[in-house]
């Protein structure tokens, strides 16, 4: 993709976040979609490309009354929306469609109108992981971490510090689920979920959604909002089984996706003013900072401990509070993109002064997939 050839002209989350028992999952998609369309001054009739995960693109297109010439239902977990942005950029540039709507909506907490999470018994997961008692992400996504901590001498206090710093960002955000400050002691005293992970090191479970509208750069000034340009994109997958990660201290998918996005954007790490790393658990920012190349192997815990990712630091990270404190409905990637867009537009609750380049990086599954988007408020 040619940097700056595609831009985001509409972006919004659902009207409410957190506990939304009166909207089904598909209606959360629609609520976010209508908000994003209004943000762009558009209606569903203006959309000719649809991408979504969690619901089928057929379902979303039908529900909203859209007849698309391009659809994408890539569903690789929470980073799917980064992949949708990447795929949408390629589709727009190829002329497959002109105006793309990407939707997310998830009744993660209230569970209204959503299917269960099934692992067929004959799948690799059903044969080689499920029989050993994994119960969702808290007892699966966390399995590599003791090896990472042992390899680099990372302590439980440092893991807890990730959550503490993100709660500081959430305190500035009226839409965050949890805003009261927490200390390292609070985190280490919270309920043990799956040693070494305690409750405050784990993501929230909430309801909500978000949507984006993308078009070609030529139309950027036809819309009410300041356009946010896509400078670079990346994606990759590794394995559906966390036990089969090649390296328990690093995500191969992160490295491949991140490298591609930086190369495409033609930026260096020093150019990045703002960073979002999907934080389903407190270790994700550690792996992300290292695998994206912001710090060396094993240096992320110290980097965060020294407050480089906190307010006033050199690399503001997860400035909405993240999956740990802002919201997390099961798939979080869309909210990372939303905060990056807000920061680029200058409308974030915890706005970073003069931020011009943001990187939104997401994980899918248990280190199974990754997507990375480089955004800017300058066409580049």
The residue within the footprint of other proteins, chosen from 115, 131, 174, 312 (CB under 8 A), is 131
The yes or no reply on residue 116 touching other proteins (CB under 8 A) is no
**Segment near other proteins (CB under 8 A); pick from 30-38, 100-108, 120-128, 318-326:** 120-128
* Cα 82 to Cα 212: distance, rounded to the nearest angstrom: 11
The yes or no reply on residue 155 touching other proteins (CB under 8 A) is no
| Least separation in angstroms between CB 19 and other proteins | 22
Contact 314, 308 (CB under 8 A): yes
- Please report which helix (H) or strand (E) contains residue 61, including its range: helix 57-64
Nearest to other proteins of 145, 214 (CB atom):
145
Contacts with other proteins in 246-285 (CB under 8 A)? Answer: 248
DSSP state of 22: T
For 358, the token pair is: 């943001």
Nearest to other proteins of 118, 268 (CB atom):
118
| Least separation in angstroms between CB 343 and other proteins | 34
| Least separation in angstroms between CB 127 and other proteins | 4
Contact 233, 214 (CB under 8 A): no
Of 380, 309, 313, 321, which is closest to residue 348 (Cα–Cα)? Answer: 321
The yes or no reply on residue 238 touching other proteins (CB under 8 A) is no
The yes or no reply on residue 147 touching other proteins (CB under 8 A) is yes
The residue within the footprint of other proteins, chosen from 49, 144, 316, 322 (CB under 8 A), is 144
Angle between helix 333-345 and 80-94 (nearest 10): 60
Count of residues interacting with other proteins (CB under 8 A): 37
* Cα 156 to Cα 53: distance, rounded to the nearest angstrom: 34
Non-local (6+) Cβ contacts of 326 within 8 A are 170, 173, 175, 176, 177, 204, 318, 320, 335
Contact 34, 3 (CB under 8 A): no
**Segment near other proteins (CB under 8 A); pick from 4-12, 186-194, 205-213, 364-372:** 186-194
The yes or no reply on residue 194 touching other proteins (CB under 8 A) is yes
The yes or no reply on residue 117 touching other proteins (CB under 8 A) is no
**Which residues in this chain contact other proteins in the complex, by CB under 8 A?**
119-122, 124, 126-135, 138-140, 142-147, 150, 191-197, 241-244, 248
């Amino acid at each position: 993709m040619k940097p700056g050839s595609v831009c985001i002209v509409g972006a919004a989350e659902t009207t409410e976040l957190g506990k939304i028992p009166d909207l089904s999952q598909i209606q959360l998609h629609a609520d976010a979609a209508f908000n994003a369309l209004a943000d762009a001054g558009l209606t569903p009739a203006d959309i000719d490309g649809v991408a979504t995960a969690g619901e089928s693109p057929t379902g979303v297109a039908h529900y909203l009354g859209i007849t698309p010439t391009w659809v994408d239902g890539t569903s690789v977990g929470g980073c799917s929306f980064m992949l949708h942005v990447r795929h949408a950029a390629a589709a727009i540039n190829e002329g497959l469609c002109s105006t793309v709507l990407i939707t997310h909506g998830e009744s993660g907490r209230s569970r209204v109108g959503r299917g269960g999470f099934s692992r067929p018994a004959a799948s690799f997961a059903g044969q080689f992981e499920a029989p050993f008692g994994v119960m969702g992400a808290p007892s699966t996504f966390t399995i590599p971490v003791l090896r990472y901590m042992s390899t680099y001498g990372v302590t439980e206090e440092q893991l807890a510090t990730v959550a503490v710093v993100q709660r500081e960002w959430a305190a500035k955000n009226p839409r965050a689920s949890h805003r009261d400050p927490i200390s390292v002691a609070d985190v280490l005293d919270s309920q043990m979920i799956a040693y070494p992970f305690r409750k405050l090191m784990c993501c929230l479970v909430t309801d909500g959604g978000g949507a984006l509208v993308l078009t070609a750069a030529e139309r950027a000034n036809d819309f009410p909002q300041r356009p946010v340009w896509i400078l670079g994109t990346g994606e990759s997958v590794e394995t559906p089984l966390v036990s089969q990660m090649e390296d328990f201290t690093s995500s191969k998918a992160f490295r491949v996706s991140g490298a591609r996005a930086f190369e495409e954007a033609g930026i260096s790490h020093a150019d990045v003013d703002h960073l979002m790393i999907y934080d389903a658990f407190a270790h994700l920012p550690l792996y992300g900072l290292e695998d994206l190349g912001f710090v060396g192997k094993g240096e992320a815990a110290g980097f965060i401990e020294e407050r480089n990712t906190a307010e006033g630091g050199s690399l503001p990270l997860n400035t909405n509070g993240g999956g740990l404190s802002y919201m997390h409905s099961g798939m979080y990637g869309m909210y990372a993109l939303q905060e990056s867009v807000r920061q680029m537009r200058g409308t974030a609750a915890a706005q970073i002064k003069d931020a011009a380049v943001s990187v939104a990086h997401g994980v899918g599954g248990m280190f199974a997939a990754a997507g990375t988007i480089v955004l800017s408020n300058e066409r580049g």
